[in-house]
Amino acid sequence: MMKILIPFSYFHPEQCAGLFVIDDMTEEAARQGIASLITVPTPTRNVPEGAKWERDETLCDGKVKVHRFRMYGEGKNPVLRAFRYLLCEMVQLHYMLWKEYDVAFIDSTPPIQGLKLPIVRLFRRKKRFVYNAQDLFPETLSGTGLANQGGLLWKIGMWVSNVTFKYSDKIIAISEDIKRSIVARGVPAEKVELVYNWVDEKAVRPVAKEDNPLFEEFGLSREKFTVVYAGNLGNAQNISIIVDAAKLLPEIQFVLFGTGGLENDIRDQIAKEQIENIHLNLLQPSNRVSQVYSLGDVCIVSCKAGLGGSAMPSKTWSIMSCARPVLASFDEGELKSILEENNCGVFTHAGNVDEFVEAIRRLSLDKEYCDTMGNNAREFILNNLTKEVGTKRYVDIITSTTRK
């Protein structure tokens, strides 16, 4: 039986972006008779209170095994976090050198994961590697404010990513923009496969406002025009534009769900400036995604200017699957084309507060148009980005590496 090794940074009961890819892909692989082993540190990030887990777990009728190795918690101290990443990578290298598997599936978080590949290739030449480029490194460094383009850290990051690309047998890019950027670095085009992140259209679906319990749970009004953001609260997402818009649109209800490096700063600003129309809540479990995005009349996808070419937020597809229009504060590119060509959202330029505010104001005055765009968005998902299509593509790419 073929076996996939997945050295990953997070797993249930942790809550973070990207877990659905592992869940759905391993489920499809199991359906095809392919075994998976997920190695991951003990849970520490966004773990719900009372959550239970075991160090070793078996899923999908025994075809998926999860092994959690002991590791200290992920705090906010950058030095301790970096050292934790390094320790985790040493443990994962050990597994890649000694575990039995045919293909290793490597994610782009943390970005230093690819440095294991030349070492493993040196000792285990027959092993194959698939790299999942959910974002681009070192471009993401500038978004977090850790590096300037052309600086020493940037150059180191470029070297790390080039090593990763060189030793990967296949690279999965989640957007045309990301694929184009990878190929521009000299990677052969036939090595890079484009697979958009999918959404489970049966699980992530519209919830009518009158049936959505989150309105009562978080003390929200069903009568007010509601704008929703869910995800990381960091520099790369440019959350400040949402706060600025809320101050200029006191009649609009802004609902944010998330955690991240700027969470405390945002809470302090809301309290200090008495911004009463922002409701900031913790990130919700994945089984509440439909309810979270269905709260909104429109939902936000945002980035810091200059980062749009290095990421394609998966939340875009979840928003659309809930039949809600996307309000993008993003760089020009693929996302803009999808929204405008399919009339399923409104694009504004990243960092442009005036455009962003005017778009919200205009949408709030035309609820019927919002509904039309939301219906178009759901239709786009059903026609293009279903779970079945995406997971089969991933498994096909992984298995293709063993036929070389």
The 10s digit of each residue's pLDDT in 360-381 is: 999 999 999 999 999 999 999 9
DSSP state letters, 236-263: GGTTHHHHHHHHH-TTSEEEEE--STTH
Candidate from 6-20, 174-188, 305-319 with smallest mean pLDDT: 305-319
**Structure tokens of 150?**
């052309």
Distance CA 74, CA 109 (A): 14
Distance CA 293, CA 305 (A): 24
Average pLDDT over residues 73-85: 84
Inter-residue contact 265 to 240 (CB < 8 Å): no
Q: What is the pLDDT of residues 187-197, one digit of tens each?
A: 999 999 999 98
Inter-residue contact 297 to 367 (CB < 8 Å): yes
What residue type is assigned to position 240 of the chain?
Answer: S
User: What single DSSP character describes residue 295?
Assistant: T
Distance CA 97, CA 106 (A): 14
Read off the pLDDT band of 47 (50, 70, 90): confident
Closest CA to 137 of 168, 117, 111: 111
Neighbours of 26 (CB within 10 A): 27
Read off the pLDDT band of 225 (50, 70, 90): very high
Average pLDDT, the chain: 91
Q: What is the pLDDT of residues 118-164, one digit of tens each?
A: 999 999 999 999 999 988 877 766 555 566 676 787 788 889 999 99
Q: Quick one: how many helices (H) and strands (E) in the chain?
A: 15, 14
Q: What is the pLDDT of residues 338-360, one digit of tens each?
A: 999 999 999 999 999 999 999 99
User: What single DSSP character describes residue 145?
Assistant: T
Distance CA 108, CA 112 (A): 8
Three-state DSSP class for 310?
helix
Instruction: Scan for tokens 């039995």, then name that residue.
Output: 100
Closest CA to 119 of 162, 68, 163: 163
DSSP state letters, 33-57: T-EEEEEEEPP-SSPPTT----SEE
Q: Please, which residues bridge with residue 256 across strands?
A: 229, 280
Q: What is the pLDDT of residues 238-255, one digit of tens each?
A: 899 999 999 999 999 999
Three-state DSSP class for 15?
coil
pTM: predicted TM-score of the whole model, two decimal places: 0.79
DSSP state letters, 186-227: T--GGGEEE----B-TTTS----GGG-THHHHTT--SSS-EE
Residue 95's pLDDT is what?
97
First to last CA, the chain: 17
Distance CA 313, CA 138 (A): 17
Residue 49's pLDDT is what?
82
Inform me whether the pLDDT recorded for 308 exceeds 70: no
Cis omega before residue 325 (within 30°)?
no
Inform me whether the pLDDT recorded for 309 exceeds 70: no
Read off the pLDDT band of 77 (50, 70, 90): confident
Q: What is the pLDDT of residues 197-208, one digit of tens each?
A: 899 999 999 999
State what percent of residues in the chain have pLDDT above 70.
96
Residue 125's pLDDT is what?
93
Q: Could you tell me the domains of the chain? A: 3-198+386-403 (3.40.50.2000), 209-384 (3.40.50.2000)
Answer positive or negative: Cα dihedral of 304, 310, 315, 316: positive
